[in-house]
A and B are shown apart, each in its own frame.
Chain A
Amino acid sequence: MKIVVCVKQVPDSAAKMAVEDGQVTWGDAPLVLNPWDEYGVEAALVQQEAHGGDVTVITMGGESAQEALKTALAMGCGQAILISDPALKGADSQAAAQVLAAAIKKIGDVDLAFFGKQAIDGDMGVTAAQTARFLGWPMISIVSVVQNLDEGGRTIRVERSVEEGRQIVEGKLPAVVSVSKDIGEPRYPSFMGIRKASRAQIPAWTLADLGIQAPTSVVHWPEVMNPPVREITTEIISGSSPQEAAEKLADKILEEKVL
């Protein structure tokens, strides 16, 4: 089984984001492997343990994005590839998908490409499906359980969560699979894994290595702002008994006329 996991480096979820002088800042919060992608890595490693083969983690980004790849290596991925090119600065999700699809093709003979549900920076949640479309592979999204992976029959059967309930979907390989948190808690990097990752030489591929031109980005972000400050006066409700406090609170809520 040849598996690829596509990941992104993002500011930590606990970061206090702000815009200062038109620049997005996150203080001294670290850049980390996108939390949703940890589930993608976990799903890939579980399948590799069950079926053999290897897992390659790839990302598109600058030099610093190596750190996200190292986290995935420390968790147990066998190889990592950084796709980095000055021409990719400001790439939109579609350009990123085009690049990831080209990288997956270059890796060659890939059976499964795993993604997290979305990245917690842009909250776009479209790159996996766009990559599937560029590859012409079936997209199987928001997977909560991989029920069966049949190497001989070249199929994967999964349970996915949609708004209305749970669906069982069977797809042909190769396929793109995005996973939700239900897939299972991501493992911690092992001590040996961290040592191995810290010494890893991560190859960097440019657009020329992929044999493609810089994709055109058509989505533009002219402005990022701090959210409007909400003027909230907090009213603490109390009473001589829980009942009295609750009665007062119910009246206050009804006075807001939103029920």
Chain B
Amino acid sequence: MSDNKILAYIDQFKGEALPASWEVLGAAHTLADQLGGQAIALVLGADAKAVADEAFQHGAAEVYYCDDASLADYRPEPYTAVVSKVAKEQDPAVILLPTTTRGREIAAMISVDLNTGVLPDVTALEVDGGKVVATRPVYAGKLISKVYCDAKPPVITTRVRAFAKPEPDASHTGTPVRVDAVMPENDIQSQVTGYTQAEGGVSLADANVIVSGGRGVSNNPSLTPPAGMDEKQAEIWRAQQGFKLVNDLASVLGGAVGASRAAVDAGYIPYPHQVGQTGKVVSPDIYIACGISGAIQHLAGMRTSKVIVAINKDAEAPIFKLARFGVVGDLYEILPALTEAFRKRLNK
């Protein structure tokens, strides 16, 4: 068959496509080449049309969009209804979505509507005798599985940063096809009544560089906390001084700040920063672990990082076994010096 359609779902937020969406389109192209056919894209939301134009530049052969008012805020049911409708009309061979919170949820729900199976968070795809076989880490990457779905179309979400993003080509344009929403507002059982933007900074999932802190960031007895703090408050205050140093290095490198579970549980830093089996699984180009000993649950969440750097006082810490470079020393001394060294070298 040479007319296979690979449907790429473009996840957007407030009119901006998430970078992971273009990775999905890249993966869709590769599959289209292997299966014979073309990549088509679908984008939903209030400002979907502008994103639809961008999808052409990223190589989609056809783009469908739905910009109904009921889709201004993401809600699973009205979004799912439109994706399922387009999937039924277009009859794609494969449906790809990014592994974002929204992408994973839509994938789960359309797989029910389309009576097929879902393969979430895959890191590689291959075509074997016309069948799409995915590679998925399981047990937070402690094991790797091959997985396929023998119903059509398989619904697959691609892990963020696992697939290459196509270079946009401004000369590649087209006319997106508008599709109608499916659910009238009255039938939708939920509404979004408020929204607070996350504090700035690079998100862990997208980051090329992650600098993480562990229990060790509070380990600086020479710091004197402000008067009147009890022991626990003083510990958290010390940890916050340590995380400032982590943050300084991350910002010079344009990276995100991560943390071990121990640091999160101790109240040093909020949970969204947690890397590991019960936090986020990340795979940046550089991962700098500061004061993290390397519990198995943490290692599972960052072991596929390209270059791992460990800074720890304890030369026996398990994190050193995974590290390309290690410094046995006090992070309170090393981190400011390292930030300064990069500032000079990167002219920042």
Contact between chains at B189 and A138 (CB < 8 Å):
yes
Asked if A36 is at the interface of the complex by the 8 Å CB criterion, the answer is yes
Residue of A nearest to B309 (CB): A253
Residue from B18, B105, B141, B197 having most chain A Cβ neighbours under 10 A: B105
Residue of A nearest to B80 (CB): A133
CA distance A169 to B189 in the complex (A): 11
A230-243 vs B: 1/0 string, CB under 8 Å?
10111111100011
Contact between chains at A126 and B192 (CB < 8 Å):
no
Which chain B residues border A124 with CB–CB below 8 Å?
A: 118, 120
Of the candidate stretches A14-22, A42-50, A72-80, the one touching chain B is: A14-22
**A232 and B338 in contact, given A166-B196, A168-B193, A169-B193 (Cβ under 8 angstroms):** no
Of the candidate stretches A81-89, A106-114, A174-182, A198-206, the one touching chain B is: A174-182
Measured CB to CB, the closest approach of chain A to B119, in angstroms, equals: 7
Of the candidate stretches B43-51, B85-93, B324-332, the one touching chain A is: B324-332
Measured CB to CB, the closest approach of chain B to A63, in angstroms, equals: 23
Which chain A residues border B316 with CB–CB below 8 Å?
A: none
Which chain A residues border B320 with CB–CB below 8 Å?
A: 234, 236
Measured CB to CB, the closest approach of chain B to A228, in angstroms, equals: 8
CA distance A236 to B314 in the complex (A): 12
Contact between chains at B309 and A221 (CB < 8 Å):
no
Measured CB to CB, the closest approach of chain A to B219, in angstroms, equals: 15
Measured CB to CB, the closest approach of chain A to B283, in angstroms, equals: 12
**A120 and B144 in contact, given A126-B104, A168-B194, A246-B341 (Cβ under 8 angstroms):** no
Residue of B nearest to A219 (CB): B117
Which chain A residues border B198 with CB–CB below 8 Å?
A: 163-166
Contact between chains at A35 and B76 (CB < 8 Å):
no
A258 touches which one: B102, B112, B139, B286 (CB < 8 A)? Answer: B286
Contact between chains at B101 and A141 (CB < 8 Å):
yes
Asked if A64 is at the interface of the complex by the 8 Å CB criterion, the answer is no
CA distance A92 to B58 in the complex (A): 34
Measured CB to CB, the closest approach of chain B to A133, in angstroms, equals: 4
Residue of B nearest to A171 (CB): B190
CA distance A167 to B191 in the complex (A): 10
Contact between chains at B192 and A167 (CB < 8 Å):
yes
CA distance A157 to B102 in the complex (A): 19
Measured CB to CB, the closest approach of chain A to B256, in angstroms, equals: 12
Asked if A130 is at the interface of the complex by the 8 Å CB criterion, the answer is yes
Contact between chains at B209 and A259 (CB < 8 Å):
yes
Contact between chains at B309 and A227 (CB < 8 Å):
no
B286 touches which one: A181, A223, A253 (CB < 8 A)? Answer: A253
Asked if B253 is at the interface of the complex by the 8 Å CB criterion, the answer is yes
A218 touches which one: B151, B321, B346 (CB < 8 A)? Answer: B151
B1-29 vs A: 1/0 string, CB under 8 Å?
00000000000011000100000000000
Contact between chains at A234 and B140 (CB < 8 Å):
no
Measured CB to CB, the closest approach of chain A to B140, in angstroms, equals: 6
Residue of B nearest to A36 (CB): B278
CA distance A126 to B111 in the complex (A): 10
A234 touches which one: B196, B279, B306, B324 (CB < 8 A)? Answer: B324
Number of A residues, CB within 8 Å of B? 86
Contact between chains at A234 and B337 (CB < 8 Å):
no
Which chain A residues border B341 with CB–CB below 8 Å?
A: 243, 246-247, 249-250
**A13 and B112 in contact, given A219-B147, A234-B321, A234-B326 (Cβ under 8 angstroms):** no
B277 touches which one: A120, A130, A230 (CB < 8 A)? Answer: A120
B278 touches which one: A13, A224, A235, A252 (CB < 8 A)? Answer: A13
**A137 and B120 in contact, given A13-B278, A221-B146, A222-B148 (Cβ under 8 angstroms):** no
Which chain B residues border A163 with CB–CB below 8 Å?
A: 13, 18, 100-101, 198, 203, 205
Q: Which of A117-136 contact B (CB under 8 A)?
A: 120-130, 132-134
Which chain B residues border A121 with CB–CB below 8 Å?
A: 138-139
A242 touches which one: B140, B146, B303, B334 (CB < 8 A)? Answer: B334
Measured CB to CB, the closest approach of chain A to B204, in angstroms, equals: 10
Q: Which of A150-202 contact B (CB under 8 A)?
A: 157, 161-172, 175, 180-182
Asked if A140 is at the interface of the complex by the 8 Å CB criterion, the answer is yes
Residue of A nearest to B346 (CB): A259
Residue of B nearest to A223 (CB): B146
Contact between chains at B192 and A220 (CB < 8 Å):
no
Kindly list 15 other residue pairs between chains A and B, CB separation below 8 angstroms, not including A120-B278, A168-B192, A247-B341.
A93-B118, A128-B108, A129-B105, A130-B118, A165-B195, A171-B190, A218-B151, A219-B149, A220-B149, A225-B144, A225-B146, A236-B328, A249-B334, A256-B286, A258-B286
27 interchain pairs, CB-CB under 8 A = A13-B278, A13-B296, A94-B118, A126-B105, A126-B111, A132-B76, A138-B76, A138-B189, A139-B109, A157-B193, A162-B74, A166-B196, A167-B192, A168-B195, A169-B191, A220-B148, A221-B146, A223-B145, A227-B144, A228-B144, A232-B324, A236-B315, A238-B327, A242-B329, A243-B337, A254-B345, A256-B324
The 7 closest A-B pairs by CB, nearest first: A168-B194, A246-B337, A126-B108, A129-B108, A242-B333, A250-B341, A171-B190
